[in-house]
């Protein structure tokens, strides 16, 4: 609990933590909004495909003309990755670009904060290993749900509890897996005209709705926390905060889990569309198991809601502030050399599933698109079947017909062997 003090000391010494930001979209803009009020932190360079848009984002979030003039803007992400800074923030959302930028930063001896969860799930353990070998840190982004869950899991284990389950909330119905960008706005209560006027990207927002983003983030949690994913994908049980300890415990005890130590995402909607009471749509949770009778008695004595046995209890955080909290990661890796969550092993994956019948020669359009959605599965299954990660399911041609609901394999598409995502994933399969 001393990051602000350490950062202030760096400011007083005239050596603020310097960061490079690659990608000035919503997440990056939220981070930029906070930077002027954080003593000891500055952004030296911002890379975006459209630097004028990045400058406009800075103005929108309240940067002064002087601060904008003192910042370098570029369209070259690799230049930003190699800049003379303490931390490189990769926030493009493109898995191939994210991997290339992260590798360039690590090779230049820079710490990396990987906002790009897509890149992390595709090759996070490889990137973390590269960073360790180079003596730098590759970290998840605080404010995003995988890092917040990682923090809660670490707290639980450091306090001596077993983690029965951990994860996040979302808005989910089974039919959402087939939603495309053409009809996504009806589920958000918006017209396409209103969304377009607000600059909202239908494919990006559809990835939150069709289950793909939840699959990606669940896989990231699995890889960072050493927790397992269900064999056939997330169940998305309807569950409010008062019922977490009842629902997210082993099936043999009356819950829905195969066993303790699982990742699951809970829905804010009942299956008939009614809202869940006290839902966790925007939050994260961890379900604890008391290691002994005394700890279970303490749960009850101190008012912690438990299941009927008294041995399982839940802690949760109802909201996450994404980019507004990103500075926690930047300061942690720069001042402590400590990641705020990191892919330690390949334990979970997010793989591509056909939304509809697909024909040989069709090109997949990736996360949130018209052709596939993401499903979280154990890495052991992904490795054994050489399944196609969602991060490689963009702009690739199908080599055979695919049935609706079929899980795709890497052999089903024409992959470019020169892509870094393909190279690193092949190394993970070896």
| pLDDT (0 to 100) of residue 92 | 96
Nearest by Cα to 141 from 22, 233, 277, 234: 22
> CB under 8 Å to 205, separation ≥6 — which residues?
184, 185, 188, 195, 368
Q: What token pair was written down for 183?
A: 């009809």
Nearest by Cα to 76 from 113, 18, 22, 118: 22
Residue intervals of the chain classified under CATH 3.90.1210.10 are: 348-429
Identify the bridge partners of residue 394 per DSSP, sorted by sequence position.
365
C-alpha 120: how far from chain center: 8
Select the CATH number that applies to the domain covering 348-429 from these four: 3.90.1210.10, 3.40.1010.10, 3.20.20.70, 3.30.530.20. Answer: 3.90.1210.10
Nearest by Cα to 306 from 243, 255, 257: 243
Would you place residue 230 in the very low, low, confident or very high pLDDT band (cuts 50, 70, 90)?
very high
Question: Cβ(343)–Cβ(124) under 8 Å?
Answer: yes
Q: What token pair was written down for 414?
A: 């024409």
Question: Cβ(143)–Cβ(325) under 8 Å?
Answer: yes
Question: Cβ(362)–Cβ(396) under 8 Å?
Answer: no
| pLDDT (0 to 100) of residue 58 | 97
Exposure of 96 by Cβ count < 10 A (0-12 exposed, 13-18 middle, 19+ buried)? Answer: buried
In whole angstroms, what is the distance from residue 97 CA to residue 75 CA? 13
- The label of the residue with tokens 């952004």 reads 43
| pLDDT (0 to 100) of residue 396 | 97
Q: Taking the model in full, what pTM does it have?
A: 0.96
pLDDT tens, residue by residue, 120-172: 999 999 999 999 999 999 999 999 999 999 999 999 999 999 999 999 999 99
pLDDT tens, residue by residue, 352-404: 999 999 999 999 999 999 999 999 999 999 999 999 999 999 999 999 999 99
Nearest by Cα to 316 from 266, 353, 259: 266
Three-state DSSP state, 266: strand
Q: What token pair was written down for 372?
A: 């596939």
pLDDT tens, residue by residue, 233-263: 999 999 999 999 999 999 999 999 999 999 9
| pLDDT (0 to 100) of residue 183 | 93
pLDDT tens, residue by residue, 297-336: 999 999 998 999 999 999 999 999 999 999 999 999 999 9
363 vs 192, higher pLDDT = 363
Query: What is the average pLDDT value for the chain, to the nearest integer?
Result: 96
- Count of all residues that appear for the chain in the document: 430
**Residue 296 above 80 pLDDT?**
yes
Residue intervals of the chain classified under CATH 3.40.50.720 are: 3-143+324-335
Three-state DSSP state, 232: coil
Domain 3-143+324-335 has CATH 3.40.50.720: yes
Mean pLDDT of 36-57: 97
Would you place residue 420 in the very low, low, confident or very high pLDDT band (cuts 50, 70, 90)?
very high
In whole angstroms, what is the distance from residue 397 CA to residue 361 CA? 5
Mean pLDDT of 50-58: 96
Nearest by Cα to 4 from 51, 45, 37: 37
Question: Cβ(262)–Cβ(218) under 8 Å?
Answer: no
Would you give the DSSP letter of residue 241? G
CB atoms closer than 10 angstroms to residue 398: 19
Helix, strand, coil share of the chain (percent; to 5): 40, 20, 35
């Amino acid at each position: 609990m001393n990051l602000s003090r350490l950062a202030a000391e760096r400011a007083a010494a005239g050596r603020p933590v310097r960061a490079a930001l690659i990608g000035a979209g919503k997440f990056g803009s939220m981070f930029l909004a906070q930077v002027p009020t954080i003593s000891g932190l500055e952004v030296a360079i911002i890379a975006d495909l459209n630097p004028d848009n990045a400058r406009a984002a800075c103005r929108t979030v309240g940067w002064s003309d002087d601060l904008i003039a003192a910042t370098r803007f570029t369209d070259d992400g690799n230049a930003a990755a190699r800049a003379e800074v303490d931390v490189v923030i990769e926030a493009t959302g493109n898995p191939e670009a994210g991997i290339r930028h992260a590798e360039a930063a690590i090779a230049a001896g820079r710490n990396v904060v990987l906002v790009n969860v897509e890149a992390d799930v595709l090759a996070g353990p490889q990137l973390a290993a590269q960073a360790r070998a180079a003596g730098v840190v590759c970290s998840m982004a605080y404010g995003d749900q995988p890092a917040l869950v990682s923090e809660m899991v670490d707290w639980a284990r450091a306090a001596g509890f077993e983690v029965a389950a951990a994860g996040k909330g979302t808005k989910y119905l089974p039919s959402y897996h087939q939603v495309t960008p053409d009809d996504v706005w009806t589920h958000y209560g918006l017209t396409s005209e209103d969304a377009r006027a607000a600059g909202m990207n239908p494919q990006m927002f559809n990835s939150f709705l069709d289950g793909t983003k939840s699959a990606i983030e669940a896989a990231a949690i699995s890889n960072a926390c050493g927790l397992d994913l269900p064999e056939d994908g997330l169940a998305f049980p309807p569950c409010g905060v008062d019922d977490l300890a009842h629902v997210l415990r082993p099936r043999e005890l009356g819950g829905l889990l195969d066993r303790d130590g699982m990742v699951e995402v809970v829905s804010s909607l009942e299956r008939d569309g009614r809202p869940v009471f006290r839902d966790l749509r925007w939050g994260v949770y961890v379900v604890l198991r008391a290691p002994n009778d005394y700890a279970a008695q303490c749960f009850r004595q101190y008012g912690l809601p438990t299941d009927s046995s008294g041995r399982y209890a839940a802690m949760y955080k109802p909201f996450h502030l994404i980019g507004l909290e990103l500075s926690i990661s930047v300061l942690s890796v720069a001042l402590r050399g400590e990641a705020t969550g990191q892919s330690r092993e390949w334990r979970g994956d997010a793989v591509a599933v056909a939304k509809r019948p697909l024909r040989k020669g069709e090109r997949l359009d990736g996360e949130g698109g018209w052709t596939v959605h993401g499903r979280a599965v154990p890495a052991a299954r992904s490795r054994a079947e050489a399944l196609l990660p969602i991060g490689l399911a963009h702009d690739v041609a199908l080599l055979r017909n695919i049935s609706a609901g079929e899980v795709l394999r890497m052999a089903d598409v024409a992959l470019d062997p020169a892509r870094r995502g393909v190279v690193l994933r092949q190394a993970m399969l070896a």
